[in-house]
Amino acid sequence: MSLIEVDSVSKAFRIPSVRRDTVREHFFGMLQPRKFQRLQVLDTVSLTLRRGEALGIMGRNGSGKSTLLKIVSGVYAPDQGRVNVLAPITPILELGVGWNPELDAIDNVLLIGSVMGLSLREIRRDMDEILAFAELERFANLKLKHYSSGMSERLGYAVAFKAVREVLVLDEIFAVGDAGFKARCEQRYWELRRLGHSAIIVSHNTRIIAEFCDRALLLDSGRVVMDAPAKEVADRYVSSLTEGVA
Amino acid sequence: MMNASAGTDLDSRPVRAIADESSRVHRPALGHAGLIWTLVRTDFKARYHGTFGGFLWALLKPLSMFIVLMGVFSFLFASDPTYKLDLIVGLFLWDFFAEGTKTGLTSLHARGYLLTKARVPCWILVVTSISNAAITLAVFCVVIVVFLTGAGRPPSVASLVAFAAYCVALAAIVVGFALASSGLFLRYRDLNQVWDVVAQAGFFFAPVIYPLGILPERYHIYLYLWPPTPIIEFSRAALVTGVVPSTTANIYLLADAAICLLTGILIFRRLSPRAAEYV
């Protein structure tokens, strides 16, 4: 059974020749019309994630991986095509979740957990485990603005791994924390897989894609150029880097 | 199939079609009760340092403003026996309008850290951003009633009901403005400065510190075009004078609030699907 179906999704951004972000800039620039360049980030991309499957996505910088994840997660809207998501998602995009620096860890976990669709009761029930997983029990009442970047990233991954819903969507998995934390994340990932969770993982790391995914896509210039078993895609990605063409 | 240690049950939410943009606006609010409560609570906590003393401290600004204005202008309008009562009603309603529109305008940008990391209904981020201003208004409503009672003019039940309706209408106007401006602010990052100037002028355009009667009647229609003016005047009539405005006047007021809210919703529906791309 498919949990996520992406059907011929396209996405483009209009890049202006001169960036204008204020009323003042628009007003004084009225007589100097701008030119817009169309940047096609995704071009009729299709994918399917089946229940219990882990799908890897590889590609060079600018190939559209992060945009695809944001569309799947519902952050961006596609210009064309259709995305059907039949299961709740826990997305960890751009190396973490969003934090309010003026709130402590507990309130931030409640906030991001409820944004991800968990009930407050579920989050409170899992709070101790989340803080323990991130090894931040002693700093639970400390405002996030006093956290180091590593601490806040660990907390984000702890939310993803302990308060997970059915599908994990992970951008650059296991790129956070020391060796011990990475090992715990990997161990937890396999636990989740055994319990039947599905995952979409974006990474440049061929070991992670080959080891942690069943199947993978290779993106190049916004198009899917390969959809095959993860090991084959990882090998093709490495060879494309050396050849210069994906 | 479920993770026992995490203990999260797979919910049975309906199929989501991301391409269907209307679903971003029309999901039932009750389904997001936990998110709404958390946003309101954490907003309060972050703003007032999580203490009731911090909240009381924040009330001092409009209260001190009232004392200063009353001290200065009650001499100027000494012939008006209800001036102080009119001032407190007008000033606290204006404070809600000014504070609510100011925080609403920057709400999507301020909560961009949520917008770009997960699928979240944008309208909740905007509407909950005015919760602090609404809580302050609720406290000031009690202050107004106490002040009126102390002045020997306790409001009747009908007056209080009418005043509550006017507060709801004002909230609708503020929400409409916040919805429209929050999306625009992501594209025009100095819109808050523009609004500061407009709000400053609007404070004097609305009859907050002066009685509307000092202006020639032919100009009143223009002042009534500024949304806070009818709210303030109608509230004064109901609470201070004890006369609830006519049904026709109330229908006009409701239409005014509905137009502001609907305009805000329409603009928001157009801008919000791409909001995350501009954060």
B14 touches chain A (CB under 8 A): no
Q: Return d(Cα A102, Cα A99) in angstroms, integer.
A: 9
- For the cut 70, the answer to whether the pLDDT of residue B24 exceeds it is no
Residue B49 has pLDDT above 80, yes or no: no
**Is there a domain that residue B11 lies in?**
no
Task: Evaluate whether residue B162 is within a structural domain.
Answer: yes
A73 contacts in chain B (CB < 8 Å): 118-119
CA distances from A119 to A125, B13, B125 (A): 10, 13, 17
Please give the mean pLDDT across all residues of chain B: 87
Say if B98 falls within a structural domain.
Answer: yes
Q: What share of chain B is helix, strand, coil (3-state, %, to 5)?
A: 75, 0, 25
The answer to whether the beta carbons of residues B227 and B256 sit under 8 Å apart is yes
Instruction: Show the domain range for B191.
Output: 53-278
B residues 109-148 lying closer than 8 A (beta carbon) to A: 112-120
- Whether the per-residue pLDDT at B15 is higher than 60: the answer is no
Place of tokens 């799908």: A55
B189 closest CA partner among A98, A24, A14: A24
* Cα distance between residue A169 and residue A3, in whole Å: 12
Residue B30 near chain A (CB below 8 Å): no
Question: Range with the lowest mean pLDDT among A38-47, A213-222, B20-29, B192-201?
Answer: B20-29
Tell me if B8 and A122 make a contact (CB, 8 A cut-off): yes
How many domains is chain B built from?
A: 1
Say yes or no for a CB contact (<8 Å) between A114 and B35: yes
pLDDT given at position B30: 55
In a domain, B48, yes or no: no
Which chain B residues are Cβ-neighbours of A85 within 8 angstroms?
15-16, 18
- Hey, are the CB atoms on B3 and A197 less than 8 Å from each other? yes
Residues 161-200 (B) with a CB less than 8 A from some CB of A: 187-191, 194
Q: Is the pLDDT of residue B23 over 50?
A: no
* Residues in chain A within 8 Å Cβ distance of B113: 98-100
Q: What is the pLDDT of residue B19?
A: 36
Task: Using a CB–CB cutoff of 8 Å, tell me whether B23 touches chain A.
Answer: no
On whether residue B23 sits in a domain, the answer given is no
Tell me whether residue B180 is in a domain.
Answer: yes
Reported as a single tens digit per residue, the pLDDT across B67-104 is 999 888 888 888 888 999 999 999 999 999 999 999 99
User: Each residue of A203-222: pLDDT tens digit?
Assistant: 999 999 999 999 999 999 99
**Do A22 and B2 lie within an 8 Å CB cutoff?**
no
Nearest CA in chain A to B271: A77
For chain A, helix (H) and strand (E) counts, in that order, are 8, 9
One-letter amino acid for residue A222 of the chain: G
The structure tokens listed for A18 are 């001169």
Q: Which of A21, A77, A191 sits opposite B18 (nearest CB)?
A: A77
> What averages of pLDDT result for each successive group of 10 residues across chain A (246 residues)?
94 93 93 92 96 96 94 94 93 75 94 87 93 94 92 87 85 77 88 94 93 96 96 95 66
Q: Are strands A167-171 and B16-17 parallel, antiparallel or unpaired?
A: unpaired
Exposed/middle/buried for residue A52 (C-beta within 10 Å: 0-12, 13-18, 19+): middle
With 90 as the cut, is the pLDDT of residue B22 above it?
Answer: no
pLDDT at B10 over 80: no
Give a yes or no: residue B19 inside a domain.
no
Q: Could you tell me the two tokens for A234?
A: 């990882």
Q: Region B156-169: what's the mean pLDDT?
A: 97
Residue range A140-168, pLDDT digits in tens: 999 999 999 889 888 988 888 877 888 99
B3 domain-assigned: no
Q: For residue A207, what pLDDT is reported?
A: 92
